[in-house]
Amino acid sequence: LVPGDVIVLDEGEKVPADCRLLETVSLRVDESQLTGESLPVSKQTEPVSEDRELYERTNMVYQGSFIIGGQATALVVGTGNATEFGKLAVLSTGKSDESPVQRRIANLISVLVKVIAAISFVAFALSMYRGMDVAEATRFVLALAVSAVPESLPIAITVILVLGMRRMAKKKALVKSPEAIETIGIVTAIASDKTGTLTKNMLTVQQIWNHDPNERDILESIARSLLSASSKTRDPLDVAMEQYIPKAKRFSAKGIAGTLPFDQLMAMSGNVWSNNGGYTLWIKGSPEQVIERSELSAYEREVAHNQVKSMAANGLRVLALAHVTTDKIISGFDELPKKGRLTFGGLIGVADELRPEAHAAIVRAHRAGIRVCMVTGDHFETAFHIGRQLGIAETRDEVFDCRKMHEMTDEELEKVVQNIRVFSRVIPEDKHRLLVILKRSQIVAMTGDGVNDVPALTGAHVGIAMGGGTGIAKDAGDIILIDNNFRSIVNAVHEGRTVYANIKRMVAYLLSTNAGEVLVALGALIAGIPIPVIAVQILWVNLVTDTCMVIPLGLEPGEKRNMLKPPQKPNAPLFSRFMLSRMVLTATTMAALTLGIYAVFLGQHGVDYARAIAFNALVVMQWASAINSRSDYEPLYKRIRKPNGAFYAGLSIAILCQVVAMAGPLHEALHIFAIPSISDLFATSAIAFIVPIAIIELHKWIGRKYFAKGAR
């Protein structure tokens, strides 16, 4: 197809291009994948204003939408990238942002590199001042620099993220981008599409009413007014009504003598049934039209109209039912008398069914300090009603009609959206703009399942697509919920927060222990005593001890308090001041103990003996630091009862490697003096293990008492 072609569209067909309608016969189109509106849209050929929104352009049909009923002749006006779908592709392109966690770690590492460069320069100068030759000083400074840099961190984070992806897959969340696990853990806002995400994208009958209550009669009216399935694509209203009727109440379509498809002018559809030599027309349609043409008293009309208003206020799409007996087959609604012949059958209220687990998941997200917003193409009142049912919005002041966005600057819009929880009448461009505004102050996850969600999915920090959604939405998302369950989003947040907390543990462990090694070397140079740990021993500590302990720390089980505290602010640093003080305390404790033990044995037994004791003590303190790092605030006696097989396996390997280094064949390669007194080794090991744990446990107690909200 090219612009200028004229095409004929029939019921059940997919629209192949953007088209201007030339002729229509009761045309109704499903545009939910493009606009998010669940209900079919009636189309006509009259001109409409150019500034109308997408969902108000009733004389146009768009690529990817489906013809629910009727026929049309249309002029092709756009194909490929010139279609509304093509415009979405433009909004969906662009370089992806670095994840907030990566950015925080990168900022920390950039500062660390500058500090290490300065320390290396000072260490080299002190080495030369203390009489080292240039080669030995260079080896020592290089080893010191290696010890200060957490070189195992990138590999460790990658392993943790991959294992996290596997765990999330078991929970029905397929993660396409490892960075998404980091980011989902610090999300502060979830902007959720309504159709297919918070709802099932499946219309269901929610309420029926008859002024003369008789459920049997109204069920018969519903069953006989259903249009038969003439194609693969049926009107969702007919599908919803058919599913509501028990199988025992259904009728065979063989009794239908004629069908009247939806008439846009009369806003009605129905079937003509044979009836003992006569015929009965069973109708469903607009309540205003049906009530006006029914045999009802003035009082009965008022009651019926009030009931329509009541059902509409509850977010229901209302249809009226009626029937009339004739002596011939009616071929069109224009053959009906204008007043007083229809027998009123009642009202039926239809709505998109909410996912039963959505409300509980939203409550859990709120408890975790996450702001949940609903983004929908529905009318203001419908959006408010659904938002209130889900617990997202309580008052109309928390609902915003996005048609006002086009008259507002970004600064004005940013002020408005701070207190908004439900966005109604949203088109794809609006979603993209809302995400840009929200990202200024929030870390945003966007959920969706349709083509109209693609720009927002790609623009959000984390795009969460539904497994039952369109292929393009799944391609655009970072995480795909295989079970289409909104609750899985909150589970993903919990898993993400666990991974994020574990990454922080790994970084804190590596930086604090590496800093301790640096302080040991600098302290010895400043004091003018021989270096307690030589270059090859420093490399052993980093390559063996750190590697065995850092990945198991990243596999710690999650804490309940992870979902009972608000997420960090987007501009917050990786570590709080309290945790920075923990790292400084760990490093200084390691350095002070190592230098103290080294100084004692240096005076009694000489350099080689003291160096072997100090090296062993430094390694044991690394183990103690790893045990301390298993939790930020939880006391050791509680944390040790929580299973983490990987941690105990890593600790066992680290201990075995150290035994081999101290007493096995590696002691010569590592220049470790064979210590004859086992009692000295055990005594110093006990001190190196107990003292750091006792000090950090005291620090945790202070944190629980004064700093950690919800830690107890």
Considering 18, 30, 193, 263, which one is annotated as catalytic?
193
Tokens (6 digits) for 59: 């004389």
For every residue of 522-581, DSSP letters joined together read: HHHHHHT---SS-HHHHHHIIIIIHHHHHHHHTTPPPPGGGGSSPPPPTT--SS-HHHHH
How many CB atoms are closer than 10 A to CB 511? 23
CA–CA separation, 272 vs 324, rounded Å? Answer: 9
Beta strands in 288-334 (DSSP E): 317-326
How many CB atoms are closer than 10 A to CB 277? 6
CA–CA separation, 264 vs 40, rounded Å? Answer: 12
Positive or negative CA dihedral for 86, 87, 92, 93?
A: positive
CA within 13 Å, CB half, 587: 24
CA–CA separation, 128 vs 140, rounded Å? Answer: 11
CA–CA separation, 56 vs 74, rounded Å? Answer: 18
In this structure, the dihedral spanned by the alpha carbons of residues 87, 92, 94 and 97, taken in order and rounded to 10 degrees, is 150
Question: Position of tokens 């004091």?
Answer: 527
Q: CB–CB of 598/532 below 8 Å?
A: yes
CA–CA separation, 366 vs 84, rounded Å? Answer: 35
CA–CA separation, 296 vs 292, rounded Å? Answer: 9
Positive or negative CA dihedral for 132, 136, 141, 146?
A: negative
Length, in residues, of the chain: 712
User: Is 193 a catalytic site residue?
Assistant: yes
Beta bridge partners of 423: 375, 400
In this structure, the dihedral spanned by the alpha carbons of residues 151, 156, 157 and 158, taken in order and rounded to 10 degrees, is 110
In this structure, the dihedral spanned by the alpha carbons of residues 223, 225, 228 and 233, taken in order and rounded to 10 degrees, is -100
- Alpha-carbon distances, residue 444 vs 47, 187, 357 (angstroms): 39, 6, 22
Beta bridge partners of 9: 72
- Strand, coil or helix: 491: helix
Q: CB–CB of 321/347 below 8 Å?
A: yes
**Distance separating the N- and C-terminal Cα atoms of the chain:** 67
Which residues are tagged catalytic? Answer: 193
